[in-house]
């Protein structure tokens, strides 16, 4: 059986070590062929994206920075169950739970909340498993194109609640949109 | 010699010098652009419109770099190397006929810095002196990579010089003159030498690639093996001189190819232009045609660079000594037979 027939991809080729003929040893034909290939590329469409002016289109399943969501009344969804931290393959998430007091009812939806919620952005691989694990729809990976800003300090890459929780005005806007619909 | 000739020649020399410099400068940009285009990229386009100021930016960068000197005993040679490379690259342009006669202010002006009888010998001589720049620079650098590059360059030059000279002899047997002006004048219209001496042109082209140290014969500075070859230890504008000399050489050898084999400033319909539009306009078109030919060959150099990989050293020597030299000798014999065909026919009584 020939090697082309047993090849699954159909791209396998029998190699041979036969002596080159005089014409092949001249290389002229091969060089001219090569020149024709390269000249063709002179007229093909260029693949360059002129970065600051042009931005590459993001994939529809793009996962950007995390956000801890609020509900329509502006209360934080997170109940500090720790499933996200458990599911995280990079072990980037840590949190500390606290019990809600009566005065904090307008701040947190559940009776338990995360007093500290930190994601180490140097560890995070943006896989989105935390989002899948969350039973309260609290953590989301946004489509934000803003990447983690560079810094000299490692501490700057540990994002706390100050950077992760959805701003209150956005939560209000979302609620209005939902009511309008 | 009257003073008008001195003024005329000085103007021509200045203009030729400036054009060579500008062409070498913009060859660096063209090289990067062509490389990018052949690789489906766009290339430098930020400095000026479409990257037109890129060579200036490159030059400015080179000037502002630290002037580094290796710990070498041959400090003088270290400085002389780039100077020789640069001056020999520019000297060759003196004998090139850039166009036919201009008729201005009641006198004929020849567009050539000097019309010496042995122009072609002069060109080959100066071009081979160019290897001294590389050789001296590589030796004085006190670095084994540099020395290796220099040795390679020297042996390559010597091997290909022979084939180049022999290929030109066949051409000279046909033209009967060494003056570039006369060779150019012998190719009116489309009677270009390349149609009569294709093999000679082919050998000359390959040798020109080797002489200018361009891919596939860039063993003297192959980045992947020798860092930078002979200019490894050079920095700042001395490095710039070497790079610049390479592009100036490329321009000059493209010009020589255009003049020797592609009819220089001649184009079909030149007599018509002279009759109907006058000498001067016909001449301006001729200069433009010559530069179009030169630009094509510069492009060809770059085109080949991004097509063919580098030769191995033994392949290079094999090609030079065992293929090109016998081939050019055969070419000489064939040319001789064609020239003397009548005498031969009489001698053998055909």
pLDDT tens column, B79-110: 888 888 888 888 888 888 887 777 777 677 77
pLDDT, average across residues B120-145:
84
pLDDT for the residue A52: 83
Contact call for B303 and A41, based on CB within 8 A? no
pLDDT, average across residues B228-256:
84
Does A37 fall in a domain?
no
Which residue from A58, A69, A59 is spatially nearest to A141, judged by alpha carbons? A69
Contact call for A46 and B304, based on CB within 8 A? no
Phi and psi based region of residue B264 (left: phi greater than 0; alpha: psi -120 to 50; beta: remaining): left
- Better pLDDT: A161 or B1: A161
pLDDT, average across residues B9-22:
86
Contact call for B40 and A35, based on CB within 8 A? no
Q: What percent of chain B has pLDDT over 90?
A: 3
CB nearest A34 (choices: B34, B41, B308): B308
Residue A64 marked as a ligand binder: no
pLDDT, average across residues B115-141:
84
CB nearest A38 (choices: B41, B42, B303): B303
Q: Is the pLDDT of residue B72 over 80?
A: no
Distance, CA of B318 to CA of B298 (rounded, Å): 26
Minimum Cα–Cα distance from A33: chain B residue:
B307
Q: Within its chain, how far is the Cα of B71 from the centroid? A: 34
pLDDT, average across residues B64-91:
83
Total number of domains in chain A: 1
Minimum Cα–Cα distance from A35: chain B residue:
B307
Contact call for A50 and B39, based on CB within 8 A? no
Helix (H), strand (E) at residue A28:
helix A28-42
The answer, for B118 touching chain A at a CB cutoff of 8 Å, is: no
Q: For chains A and B, what is the number of CB pairs under 8 angstroms?
A: 32
Closest CA of chain B from A55, distance in Å: 16
How would you label B207-233 residue by residue, b for 16+ Cβ within 10 Å and e otherwise?
Answer: bbbbbbbbbbbbbbbbeeebbbbbbbb
Structure-token pair, residue B192: 């270009």
pTM: 0.78
Would you list the domain boundaries of chain B? 3-348
- Beta-carbon contacts of residue B129 (< 8 Å; ≥ 6 apart): B84, B88
CB nearest B41 (choices: A31, A37, A46): A46
pLDDT for the residue A133: 92
The answer, for B321 touching chain A at a CB cutoff of 8 Å, is: no
Q: Is the pLDDT of residue B204 over 80?
A: yes
φ, ψ for residue B295 (rounded to 5)? -60, -35
Closest CA of chain A from B44, distance in Å: 11
Which CATH number characterizes residue A147's domain?
3.30.70.3270
Q: What tens-digit pLDDT sequence spans chain A (181 residues)?
A: 676 777 777 777 778 888 878 777 777 888 889 899 988 988 888 888 888 888 888 888 888 889 998 888 888 888 889 899 999 999 999 999 999 888 888 888 888 888 999 999 999 999 989 999 999 888 988 888 888 888 898 888 999 888 888 888 888 887 788 777 7
pLDDT for the residue A1: 64
- Better pLDDT: B345 or B111: B345
Cα torsion at B131, B136, B137, B140 (round to 10°)? 160
| C-alpha separations of B307 from A18, A36, B34, B218, B315 in Å | 25, 9, 12, 14, 18
Most confident of B45-54, B290-299, B336-345: B290-299
Q: pLDDT grade, residue B162 (50/70/90)?
A: confident
Structure-token pair, residue A28: 């002229």
- Beta-carbon contacts of residue A69 (< 8 Å; ≥ 6 apart): A76, A77, A137, A138, A139, A140, A166, A171
Closest CA of chain B from A13, distance in Å: 24
- Better pLDDT: B164 or A8: B164
Range of the domain at A165: 66-180
Structure-token pair, residue B67: 């002037």
**Prediction ipTM score:** 0.75
Task: Name the residue with tokens 């200045």.
Answer: B14
Q: Is the pLDDT of residue B73 over 80?
A: no
Q: pLDDT grade, residue B1 (50/70/90)?
A: low
Distance, CA of B236 to CA of A137 (rounded, Å): 60
pLDDT for the residue B137: 84
Chain A residues with CB-CB distance to B under 8 A? 31, 34-35, 37-39, 41-42, 44-48, 50
């Amino acid at each position: 059986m020939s090697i082309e027939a047993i090849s699954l991809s159909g791209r396998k080729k029998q190699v041979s070590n036969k002596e080159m003929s005089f014409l092949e040893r001249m290389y002229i034909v091969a060089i001219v062929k090569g020149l024709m290939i390269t000249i063709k590329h002179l007229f093909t469409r260029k693949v360059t994206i002129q970065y600051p002016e042009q931005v590459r289109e993001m994939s529809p399943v793009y996962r950007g920075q995390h956000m801890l969501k609020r509900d329509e009344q502006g209360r934080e969804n997170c109940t500090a169950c720790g499933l996200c931290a458990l599911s995280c393959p990079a072990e980037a998430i840590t949190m500390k739970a606290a019990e809600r007091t009566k005065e904090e009812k307008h701040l947190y939806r559940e009776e338990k909340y995360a007093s500290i919620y930190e994601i180490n952005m140097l560890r995070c691989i943006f896989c989105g498993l935390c989002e899948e694990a969350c039973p309260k729809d609290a953590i989301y990976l946004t489509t934000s194109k803003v990447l983690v800003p560079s810094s000299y300090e490692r501490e700057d890459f540990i994002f706390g609640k100050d950077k992760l929780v959805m701003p209150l005005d956005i939560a209000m806007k979302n609620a209005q949109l939902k009511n309008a619909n | 010699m009257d003073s008008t000739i001195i003024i005329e020649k000085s103007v021509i020399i200045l203009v030729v010098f400036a054009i060579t410099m500008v062409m070498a400068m913009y060859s660096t940009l063209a090289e990067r652009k062509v490389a990018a285009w052949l690789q489906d990229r766009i290339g430098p386009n930020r400095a000026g419109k479409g990257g037109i100021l890129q060579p200036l930016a490159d030059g400015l960068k080179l000037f502002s770099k630290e002037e580094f000197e290796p710990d070498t005993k041959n400090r003088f040679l270290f400085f002389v190397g780039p100077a020789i490379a640069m001056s020999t690259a520019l000297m060759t342009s003196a004998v090139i006929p850039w166009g036919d006669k201009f008729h201005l202010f009641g006198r004929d002006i020849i567009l050539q810095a000097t019309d010496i009888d042995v122009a072609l010998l002069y060109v080959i001589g100066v071009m081979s002196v160019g290897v001294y720049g590389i050789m001296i620079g590589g030796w004085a650098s006190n670095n084994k990579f540099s020395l290796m590059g220099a040795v390679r360059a020297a042996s390559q030059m010597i091997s290909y010089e022979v084939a180049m000279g022999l290929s030109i002899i066949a051409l000279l047997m046909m033209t009967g003159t060494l003056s570039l002006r006369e060779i150019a004048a012998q190719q009116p219209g489309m009677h270009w030498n390349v149609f009569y001496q294709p093999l000679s042109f082919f050998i000359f082209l390959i040798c020109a690639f080797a002489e200018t140290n361009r891919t596939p014969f860039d063993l003297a500075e192959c980045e992947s093996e020798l860092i930078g070859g002979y200019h490894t230890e050079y920095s700042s504008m001395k490095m710039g001189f070497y790079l610049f000399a390479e592009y100036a050489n490329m321009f000059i050898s493209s010009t020589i190819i255009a003049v020797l084999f592609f009819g220089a400033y001649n184009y079909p319909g030149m007599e018509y232009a002279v009759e109907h539009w006058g000498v001067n306009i016909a001449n301006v078109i001729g200069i433009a045609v010559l530069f179009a030919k030169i630009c094509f060959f510069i492009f060809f150099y770059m085109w080949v660079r991004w097509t063919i990989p580098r030769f191995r050293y033994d392949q290079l020597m094999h090609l030079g000594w065992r293929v090109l030299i016998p081939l050019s000798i055969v070419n000489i014999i064939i040319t001789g037979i064609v020239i003397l065909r009548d005498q031969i026919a009489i001698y053998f009584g055909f």
